[in-house]
Copies of this chain bind each other. A is one copy, B any other.
Amino acid sequence: MITPETKIRMGMVGGGPDAFIGQVHRCVAAMDGQIELVCGAFCSDPARSESFGHSLGLEPERCYPDFQTMIAREAALPPERRMLFVAIVTPNHMHFAIAECALKAGFHVLSEKPATVSLEQACALRDRVRASGLKYCLTHNYTGYPMVRQARDLVASGELGAIRKIVVEYPQGWLASMVEQTGQKQAGWRTDPTRAGSSNCMGDIGTHAENLAEHISGLRLKELAADLSRFGEGRTLDDDGNVLLRFEGGAKGVLHASQISTGEENDLNIRLYGEKGGLQWKQQEPNTLIVHRLGQPSQIYRSGQDYLSPAASSMCRLPAGHTEGYLGAFANIYRSFAADLRRVLSGDAGSESSADYPGIEDGVRGLAFIEACVKSSQSNAAWTPLQG
């Protein structure tokens, strides 16, 4: 019988000792006490994978040498013991194969973004997910911030009028120098087309910006004109890009993302302007949402306050003034996914659209965006429609 206290059992692929994002996933999965890590295939080296899994408190026999073994062996365990979902936190190029394998074996999937390394793969994965009837969660974690939800709800309410313009930006500076030549692992794979896919900057952070813009505005990006650059000498993938945007319905916008903006940390920001109002959210000050209304003083919406929308309120973990951080927002994605899996366990399959977390459709949009950027840039920033 499924009860509130039943833990949702998670297996992890990737996320070994030096992987920043794997540690984040484990931490946020644990925060709400609803998810239990029961197995993993953490590293390509089987011995390291096992010793690392052991250090996390896993049983030795559930520290697997690779994802295929993990999925096969877990599938063979009795239902009440085996993992319920696989968390994929590897470099991009492995996402598709792992997700496909997991779905085939009947496991739900939670995956780092981008969902795959090509739009074709993403569409194929969408088909697999739909056919499987299983759940798929893509960790566009910034949508887990309460004030992002508040922004989305404000736009949806019509209070800002029809949206005319969106400015979304994501400057970072961590690749201003050739960090990938110093042995830094993440820099290594992100700048490597065999592991990152056709784009570095747009694939890593441009997609976050695109996702945020579509998520908050409720608009679909129709076409774009992108000028991608490789400032780091000898790089084969983009480390910077500037993009003109046109949305269905007539809104326009700008998206720029960068890894060579020296001194910037992780400065994801969005501004939307409608006929009657506007809003601004900055990821580095995530508890604040500035709301503009024609002819009135601008307002400072803050997380934890009573006036928030029900959905935004439910994402606040703390009273106002106690800063919600990256981990709490990320954990909201996991919490929503866990709640959905719990519904499945209770026999309520739900629908794709009812899920309150990013899914495979976001993944398809992300790859459509990445490929349009790359294609447009190869054509000297010609307008390029989003496929998929």
Which residues 237-282 in A have Cβ within 8 Å of B in the complex?
240, 242, 244-246, 252-254, 256, 258, 260-267, 271, 273-278
User: Complex formed: what's the CA distance from A321 to B302 in Å?
Assistant: 19
**A171 within 8 Å of B by Cβ?**
yes
User: Complex formed: what's the CA distance from A180 to B139 in Å?
Assistant: 40
**A327 within 8 Å of B by Cβ?**
yes
Residues A227 and B252 in contact, CB atoms below 8 Å apart = yes
Which residues 3-29 in A have Cβ within 8 Å of B in the complex?
4-5, 7, 20, 24, 26-27
A286 — which chain B residues lie within 8 A by C-beta?
Answer: 323
Residues A307 and B299 in contact, CB atoms below 8 Å apart = no
A229 — which chain B residues lie within 8 A by C-beta?
Answer: 164, 252
A45 — which chain B residues lie within 8 A by C-beta?
Answer: none
CB-CB under 8 A for A20 and B319, given A227-B252, A240-B165, A381-B381? yes
A284 — which chain B residues lie within 8 A by C-beta?
Answer: 287, 321, 323
Instruction: Indicate with 1 or 0, residue by residue over A288-327, a CB within 8 angstroms of chain B CB atoms.
Output: 0011111111111110111100000000011111111111
Residues A273 and B258 in contact, CB atoms below 8 Å apart = yes
Count residues of chain A with CB under 8 A from any CB of chain B: 94
**A119 within 8 Å of B by Cβ?**
no
Q: Which of A161, A174, A299 has the most CB of B within 10 A?
A: A299
A318 — which chain B residues lie within 8 A by C-beta?
Answer: 24, 325-327
Which residues 73-121 in A have Cβ within 8 Å of B in the complex?
none
Closest residue of B by beta carbon distance from A291: B297
**A386 within 8 Å of B by Cβ?**
no
Residues A296 and B307 in contact, CB atoms below 8 Å apart = yes
Residues B242 and A275 in contact, CB atoms below 8 Å apart = no
Residues B327 and A262 in contact, CB atoms below 8 Å apart = no
8 contacts between A and B (CB under 8 A): A33-B37, A225-B225, A244-B381, A262-B294, A285-B323, A297-B307, A323-B326, A381-B383
